[in-house]
């Protein structure tokens, strides 16, 4: 864990490159977005709510669905804004109120740590076969490979690839006509993610930055939704 007051931007960037993420206390109170902009040297992305900050909080209505706000299941592994031609390179979470019982944690895995478990054939499939990625409101979409080697971008969403839905009820059948090779690949991603994931339990006011081009992440389910724990997401 870092304080931005004691580590240089270069040190933070090196750590981010090596580990795919870092966590630090918020030294700048309400100026945290400006601080992150300085670190990432990028402009915040407008998100689906039309703002640069997207609130995530426990929502009892999401019970039974694989959703970021779910108190029951949590959101399966994905990269952020995979449906954009150029997804954001960095994703930042500012934890306002942590879940008292440890729910709502972000879990992370570096893509490189998973890649060595995939065969060359599977790697070629990831790199050569465009897949359909869409936004939650289905207004935006793109066809792109999971592993876009030339731009060093990875895109993944178990739910979108397998269910063609952002927040499905996991009892529903998988998408009709789903390519069996894609299904097998996604299930392998899921099993590896569960084996290698690192859960991050952020405290109040801590900020997580992750590299959205080198990490997959998921959100564990919330347990304490009565108090509305809420992190804010910003992407660059």
Pairing of the two strands 21-25 and 2-3: parallel
Q: How far apart are CA 45 and CA 234, in angstroms?
A: 7
In the complex with Fe ion, which residue's Cβ is closer, 4 or 210?
210
CB of 8 to Fe ion, least distance (A): 28
Q: Return d(Cα 199, Cα 217) in angstroms, integer.
A: 9
Q: Least distance (Å) from Fe ion to the CB of residue 80?
A: 5
- Token pair belonging to 218: 């998921």
Measured distance CA(212)–CA(27) in Å, rounded? 23
Query: Nearest-CB residue to Fe ion?
Result: 80
- Minimum CB distance to Fe ion smaller for 126 or for 210: 210
Query: Which run of H or of E encompasses 193?
Result: helix 180-196
Residues contacting Fe ion: total by CB under 5 A: 1
Q: Whose Cβ is closer to Fe ion: residue 106's or residue 131's?
A: 106
Q: Which is nearer to Fe ion, 131 or 212 (CB)?
A: 212
Q: Which residue bears the tokens 């499939």? A: 125
* Other C-beta atoms lying within 10 Å of the C-beta of residue 164: 16
4 vs 93, beta carbon nearer Fe ion? 93
- Smallest distance from the beta carbon of 180 to Fe ion, in angstroms? 27
Read off the tokens for 34.
């400006």
Binding-site string for Fe ion from residue 49 to residue 88, where x marks contact by CB under 5 A and - marks none:
-------------------------------x--------
CB 186 within 8 A of CB 162: yes
Q: How far is the CB of 179 from Fe ion (least distance, A)?
A: 24
What does the per-residue mask of binding to Fe ion show for 121-140, with x meaning CB under 5 A? --------------------
CB of 120 to Fe ion, least distance (A): 29
Give me the phi and psi of 81, to 5 degrees please.
Answer: 50, 45
What are the residues binding Fe ion (CB under 5 A)? 80
């Amino acid at each position: 864990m870092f304080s931005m007051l004691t580590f240089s931007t270069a040190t933070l960037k090196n750590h981010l490159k090596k580990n795919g993420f870092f966590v630090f206390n918020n030294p700048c109170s309400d100026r945290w977005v400006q601080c992150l902009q300085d670190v990432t040297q990028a402009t915040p992305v407008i998100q689906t709510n039309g703002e640069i900050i997207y609130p995530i909080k426990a929502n009892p209505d999401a019970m039974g669905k694989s959703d970021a706000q779910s108190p029951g299941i949590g959101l399966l592994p994905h990269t952020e804004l995979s449906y954009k031609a150029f997804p954001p390179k960095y994703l930042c979470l500012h934890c306002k109120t942590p879940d008292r019982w440890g729910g709502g944690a972000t879990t992370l895995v570096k893509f490189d740590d998973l890649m060595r478990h995939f065969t060359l054939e599977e790697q070629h499939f990831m790199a050569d076969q465009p897949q359909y990625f869409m936004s939650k409101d289905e207004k935006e979409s793109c066809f792109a490979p999971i592993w876009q080697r030339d731009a060093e971008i990875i895109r993944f969403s178990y739910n979108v690839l397998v269910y063609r839905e952002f927040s499905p009820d996991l009892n529903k059948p998988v998408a009709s006509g789903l390519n069996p090779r894609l299904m097998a690949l996604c299930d392998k991603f899921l099993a590896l993610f569960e084996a290698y994931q690192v859960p991050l339990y952020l405290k109040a006011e801590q900020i997580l930055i992750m590299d959205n081009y080198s990490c997959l992440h998921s959100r564990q389910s919330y347990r304490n939704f009565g108090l509305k724990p809420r992190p804010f997401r910003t992407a660059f």
